[in-house]
Amino acid sequence: MIFKINKKTVLLSICIFLCGIIARITFINSTNSMSNRMSGGRLHPSLHAIIAEALPVSTQQAANVSERFQRPSKQLPLPNPYALNDFQKENNEPPLISKKFEAPEDLLLAYYGILRAASNMSGYSGGCGSIGESGLPYPYAYELLTKEKQNEISLNQFIDSFKGIGYTTLLKIVPAYAPPDTPQNIKYYLVEIEVITGPKANNDKEYNKGSYFAYYYGLVTVEKTPKDGWKIKDIDYIPEDFLCAPVHSWFYLSDAVVQIVYEDNMKIIEKIDRTKQKGDMVYIYASGNGKQYRFDFIRLTNGYDILLHENVFENGMWKEIQLLTDDWKDFKLTINNSQINKTI
């Protein structure tokens, strides 16, 4: 028996097969991408993957260990003049927000002020009825993203990234380091948030694990355009751990980082002169090779000190510089940190 091969049929079959493979790959990539999203941003692993010997802890330090490292935040929410009702419309016709933000800090306050009333707890344990304004705030917050970001993530995907979050509190906004090649219309900010969340709901209605608090910090990239003013270009979150410090490593101690990195290894400084704390900021003043340096850290809720800025004293004023070499660059939270390019 002789079979005749129809070339058109074969080509069509190959095209269908290849399209199926492409669709499958696209679906997998999309699924993986969305699984790494949290609260409208990308979720990344811990800033430091280094595990080193813990430094000796004195009796006086030990007395403060639990209070600093193993307790949630006692600080009040960051004062915020914005809330959902400042923007809420009677209809849901876009644009929902007509305000043009001329200051990036105002944009971030508005974004988190709107999200404060948002809740997406369907299918999760916690609460005893409706929570806040439920899903109403999300489209408003979504409009504060750049057009490019909205093309990357749809409104439904944006809302899905908040699954299991019933309340969001903004704790910190602090300017972060901008590399020298950063365009003038781009800025970076450290943010820290506290969220109330809960486990996935159990089918047994009598069994409820309740809700719990979680903390995240990270970088928000904002961009200014002549037409739209400041908008949010990207958000990169890192979860905070409360069970690692103080018995492992030294990367969370500002004075230890300055001593071990800048003195013992990089040989830039010769001694630490003094330490000053103002609110959540910790400033380490040091000197070496005839120069004076200041290293600016932010203290997170979990007690970690995160390096944000390096400064040298020149011509009677502090000038921000980049001192860390590639081997040590991940000790500072910047857009170039290698952990920012990884996702959980």
Q: Identify which of 159, 157, 120, 153 has the alpha carbon closest to the alpha carbon of residue 141.
A: 159
Considering the domain architecture, whether residues 162 and 212 belong to the same structural domain is answered as yes
pTM attached to this predicted model: 0.85
Residue 51's contacts (CB-CB under 8 Å, 6 or more residues apart) are: 248, 249
307 near 331, Cβ under 8 Å? yes
How far apart, in whole angstroms, are the C-alpha atoms of residue 275 and residue 265?
Answer: 20
Supply the pLDDT for residue 30: 42
Residues 301 and 156 in one domain: no
**Model pLDDT, residue 91:** 86
- Secondary structure of residue 258 in the 3-state scheme: helix
CA dihedral 297, 299, 305, 311 (to 10 degrees): 0
Q: Do 263 and 225 reside in the same domain of the chain? A: no
Largest CA-CA distance found in the chain, in angstroms, rounded: 95
Q: Let me know if residue 134 belongs to a domain.
A: yes
If asked whether residues 288 and 234 sit together in one domain, one would say no
Which pLDDT score is estimated for 93? Answer: 85
Range of the domain at 326: 249-341
Q: Is residue 208 one of the residues assigned to a domain?
A: yes
Rounded to whole angstroms, the Cα distance separating 40 from 294 reads 34
Residue 283 sits in the same domain as residue 161: no
Which residues in the chain show pLDDT less than 70? 1-35, 47-64, 66, 203-209, 344
Of residues 105, 104, 102, 101, the one with CA closest to residue 78: 105
CA distance 40 to 153: 9
The total number of structural domains that make up the chain? 2
Instruction: State the average pLDDT for the chain.
Output: 85
Q: Does residue 68 share a domain with residue 209? A: yes
Interatomic CA distance for residues 120 and 63, integer angstroms: 39
Inside any domain, residue 299 = yes
Question: Is the residue at 189 inside a domain?
Answer: yes
| Distance in angstroms (rounded) separating the CA atoms of residues 177 and 322 | 9
- Boundary-marking domain end, from 197, 212, 239: 239
How far is 64 from 12, CA to CA, in rounded Å? 71
pLDDT at position 90, please?
87
pLDDT in tens, 193-228: 999 998 888 766 545 667 899 999 999 999 999 999
> Which of these three, 219, 239, 259, is where a domain ends?
239
Number of Cβ within 10 Å of residue 27's Cβ equals 10
173 found inside a domain: yes
Question: Which residue carries 């949010």 as its tokens?
Answer: 232
How many Å apart are CA 169 and CA 79, to the nearest integer?
10
Q: Which long-range contacts (CB under 8 A, 24 or more apart) does 54-58 make?
A: 54/246, 54/247, 54/248, 54/249, 54/250, 55/250, 55/253, 55/256, 57/246
Q: What is the pLDDT of residue 73?
A: 76
Q: How far apart are the first and last CA of the chain?
A: 57
One-letter identity of residue 77: P
Q: Which amino acid is residue 200, in one-letter code?
A: K
The verdict on residue 30 lying in a domain is no
Examine residue 78 and state whether it is found in any structural domain, yes or no: yes
147 in the same domain as 290? no
